[in-house]
Structure 1
Amino acid sequence: MAPSMDIDDNVDKKSKSTTAAKKVGTPSASSEEASPHPDMSLAQDIHRVMMVHSSTLSVEDATAIVGMDPAALLDKVISRVGTGGKSVEEAIKENEAKYNKTEEDSTEDKKKDEEEDSDKTEEIVEPLLNAALYRHLQSTLGYNKSDALSEVNLTAIEAHHEAIIKILRENITKAKDEAGDMEVLHAHMDVARYCAKCTTKEMALSAYEEVVALPKLSIGKKLDAYLEMTRVCSFWGDWKSMNETLTKAAKVIEKGGDWDRRNRLKAYQAMSYLCSRDLKSASTLLVEGIATFSCAELCEYSEFIMYAIVTNLLYLKRTEVKKSIIDGSEILQVSKDIPVVMQLANTLYECDYKAYLHTLVDLQPHLVANRYLQPHAGYILRELHVLAFQQFLDSYQSVTLESMATSFGVGVEFLDLQLSRFIAAGRLTAKIDKYGGVVETNRPDWKNARYQEMIQKGDLLLNRIQKLGRVVDL
């Protein structure tokens, strides 16, 4: 039996990453080792199909964003989740052949796969044979085409997965008896990754829990497992479990870990903050991660930049917007891929409010088409409106409604309604003289603003103490 050791085989990978500088946005050493499953681009496609099905996203907008008719996108998704257009028997036979091999054959195939993967530039199109996900899509989307898989087919696929997982678990036993800790880790990861690809969220997370529970597991490998667990949670829309898993990962990284994995963890944490609508925390991590992003398995670099721009416009000062976003070298590299959000940043900075509002209209379908931003689309658009109104009013002590409406390219009545809502909610420091048709700004100084904030928080604290006192008395 091979001698025990802390399980970490990244020495060569680390040296490789330090000797050759990589372009921003390309996978890092640990990212290259990450499982391609679950596929987050597939999750985005599924979300877009769902949005079109619920009429939340129009067919025209979906086609423009994806570059494909939604009906064709649906067929693509169903094919990918199912058997890839093959018969169930053929798909099962091909999948089975990958695992019913001798050890020598498997080693040779792994080398071939690595060589092929290094040359791949196109999206992976391997069918998932995921019966649980297929059922979910069938029931949600009412997919009942003639070539749809039947319940008998799906049951056969599940039985096939049970047989494959049994083989993979036998490899764990064999590794424990005949090999070392590294081989045991790889065998456990094979089970977890297969479950993440082909089965349910629960089965995948359970298998990954076995990985992180392994003795002598290095910090790097444990963090890798937690990040893959995070993607499983994200793929199935379990944001609570995603946040809990990242909390565990953060505790692990406190004990050590390389900068590569630290940067990847920050990118994952940024996405978690985004999902929980903590846009302030997300914006900080997103803008910090622009220059170090390497999580190709999490999202595309252009997507990450889009998240960074949308969130940071709400919090950065004008000078920082110019420096970090408009003139940011990394952002300029992908600006052609995200024209709408770049237009948003430029029009706001240039105070072209009419074009800015038009860009907000164009931005809306992009927010809806994104699974991370869609739940918060209304909130984000509202905050972006407040941002522009406040920036405009900061330049005046008073301004007529008509003049402001002209600057924004909207009607006076519409502007009056919008401003009234935001002023009443305390979002704008201004008041409207309806009789004179004038908006008067009322900008409190910093000390007064802090004083008002302290009074407000003090009232909230006092109310909580009083409620607690009543509970204690009972």
Structure 2
Amino acid sequence: MAPLYQTLAADSVLTLDQKVLDSMRAKIEEELKKLDEKIADAEENLGESEVREAHLAKSLFFIRIGDKDKALEQLKLTETKTVAVGQKMDLVFYTLQMGFFDMDFDLISKSIDRAKKLFEEGGDWERKNRLKVYEGLFCMSTRNFKKAADLFLDSISTFTTYELFPYDTFIFYTVLTSIITLDRVSLKQR
């Protein structure tokens, strides 16, 4: 969490403690060394899917510690090792999660467009429904409440996007955006 800690300290949210930061960096270096060894072992001794999994583990590590730039770079590398469209969409969902965490609307917009293109190449319906929730949250964040309500209402019966928020929060957002945008008759019907 060193990158996140440094960002929060730079924004004066936390006080920077150099000992804590050095300790975090040491743990990160140790974990990165293990992940790099795992990648090297997979490339030498194992198959393509194991190499992809090793790269994905490193991507998820960078996401977990809050290093957005390295995570995005590693996710791109992981995507080059990925064949299946569904797995590529999962990588885009990780990118979207980082975008929402940082409120990086440019990254979110590009990632949603990328996910739509991937779905056209052959994505499954479960991922399509997850994409609707991500896009609905983006629309809500950018005050496009009408589109957000439509996307949320389409996803009520198939909600599986628990990595973003629980189902009750999803229902709250759906009701909130629907009350703002739908007329009384449409609201009652839906």
Distance 1:266 1:133 in 2: 29
Distance 1:242 1:166 in 2: 31
- The residue aligned with 1:203 is 70
The structure 2 residue matched to 1:182, chosen from 49, 63, 76, is 49
Q: CA 1:142 to 1:189, structure 2 compared with 1: closer, same or farther past 3 Å?
A: closer
- The residue aligned with 2:24 is 157
Distance 2:64 2:179 in 1: 37
Distance 2:13 2:93 in 1: 33
- The residue aligned with 2:5 is 134
Q: Which has the higher contact order (CA 8 A, sep 6+)?
A: 1
State the Cα deviation string for residues 101-137 of structure 1 (Å, max 9, x = none): xxxxxxxxxxxxxxxxxxxxxxxxxxxxx12222333
Within 5 Å, give how 1:244-323 maps onto structure 2: 244-323=110-189
State the Cα deviation string for residues 413-469 of structure 1 (Å, max 9, x = none): xxxxxxxxxxxxxxxxxxxxxxxxxxxxxxxxxxxxxxxxxxxxxxxxxxxxxxxxx
Q: Is the 8 A contact 2:119 2:128 kept in 1?
A: yes
Distance 2:49 2:37 in 1: 16
Q: Is the 8 A contact 2:48 2:81 kept in 1?
A: no
Within 5 Å, give how 1:61-76 maps onto structure 2: none
Deviation at 1:191, TM superposition (A): 0.1
Deviation at 1:139, TM superposition (A): 4.6
State the Cα deviation string for residues 250-280 of structure 1 (Å, max 9, x = none): 1001011221111111111111112222222
- The residue aligned with 2:108 is 242
Task: Indicate the RMSD between aligned Cα atoms, in angstroms.
Answer: 1.7
Deviation at 1:208, TM superposition (A): 0.8
Deviation at 1:142, TM superposition (A): 4.6
Consecutive unaligned residues in structure 1, runs of 5 or more? 1-129, 325-474
Deviation at 1:141, TM superposition (A): 5.1
Matched residue of 1:222: which SS?
helix
Deviation at 1:140, TM superposition (A): 3.7
- The residue aligned with 1:170 is 37
Question: How many correspondences in the alignment?
Answer: 190
Consecutive unaligned residues in structure 2, runs of 5 or more? none
The farther-off stretch of 163-172 and 229-238 is 163-172
Distance 2:13 2:142 in 1: 30
Deviation at 1:311, TM superposition (A): 1.3
Deviation at 1:226, TM superposition (A): 0.7
Distance 2:155 2:66 in 1: 32
Distance 2:150 2:91 in 1: 25
Max radius of gyration: which structure?
A: 1
TM-score (norm 1): 0.38
The structure where helix makes up a greater share of residues is 2
Distance 2:12 2:157 in 1: 39
Q: Is the 8 A contact 2:43 2:51 kept in 1?
A: yes
1:214 aligns with 2:81: yes
